[in-house]
Structure 1
Amino acid sequence: MQYMLLIYSDENDWTQEEREHCYKESTELTQELNKRGQFVSASPLESVSTATSVRVRDGKRTVTDGPFAETREQLGGYFIVEAKDLNEAIAIASRIPSARKGTVEVRPVVELAGLPTPNSAVTSQTSPIY
């Protein structure tokens, strides 16, 4: 089963040196998970100052600068992993360096039939989604 590990922390709590070390540790963890067949995807996100929120209400789109919610901790990145159960996913989440300063939310991924597999899209032709 796949689990998404959502990484939350106050982005202002990290020095640039700590952030670089966190990226290095996270990359090492992804390499280990990949060797065990558990790695699906992972990536840090740019600063919350680059966030844009989109809402559609009554057929009208509203676009606002900033994250969806104003909180002390912001979504800073994610891992998607294969784990046999919640306990194994929690064990992986506890190894993510950001868990030492913030929170890692563990959530099962709903598997929907008919979704494309990663990298199955034709890369030579892209069209925007509206």
Structure 2
Amino acid sequence: MPKYIAIGYGDQAGYDRTPQDIREAAHHHDASLKQRGVMMGIAETPIQVRNPNGSGVLIQTGPYLSSDLPIAGFSIMEAKDINEAIELASKSPCAVAHGVIEIWPLKEQ
């Protein structure tokens, strides 16, 4: 079955202005996704890793990507196709609480 990486972007202000019943439904939805086998995690501080021309490892704390909203979390899910992945992501907290979720099809090697 195809796999998808979902990246959720959102902030506390968007979360707070979302009605509590909608937030609770979104968290219940995420719990059902976990029972389905979706791997989820909350984003912490990233580390950038570089090794230009194999000359030595350089590290830097902080994100490489930038957006209007911070990255809130990640998930890896299986779905029959992109449409099912969209449906699964559309009810999660970042999607309903004024954030956004990117879905990246994962091509396994």
User: Which residue identity is paired with 1:6?
Assistant: I
Q: Secondary structure at the match of 2:33?
A: helix
Q: 1:31 to 1:15 in 2, by over 3 A?
A: closer
Q: 1:74 to 1:22 in 2, by over 3 A?
A: farther
Aligned with residue 52 of structure 1, among 32, 38, 47: 47
Q: Which runs of 4+ in 1 moved over 4 A?
A: 21-27
Q: CA deviation at 1:13?
A: 3.0
The residue aligned with 1:8 is: 9
Aligned length: 104
The residue aligned with 1:32 is: 32
Q: What's the RMSD between the two structures over aligned residues?
A: 2.9
Q: CA deviation at 1:24?
A: 6.0
Aligned with residue 81 of structure 1, among 69, 77, 82: 77
Aligned with residue 68 of structure 1, among 47, 64, 77: 64
Alignment gaps of 5+ in structure 2 = none
Q: CA deviation at 1:74?
A: 2.5
Q: CA deviation at 1:95?
A: 0.6
Higher CA-based Rg: 1
Q: CA deviation at 1:31?
A: 3.3
8 Å CA contact 1:6–1:105 kept in 2: the answer is yes
8 Å CA contact 1:22–1:98 kept in 2: the answer is no
The residue aligned with 2:104 is: 107
CA distance in 1, matches of 2:5, 2:90: 13
CA distance in 2, matches of 1:33, 1:67: 27
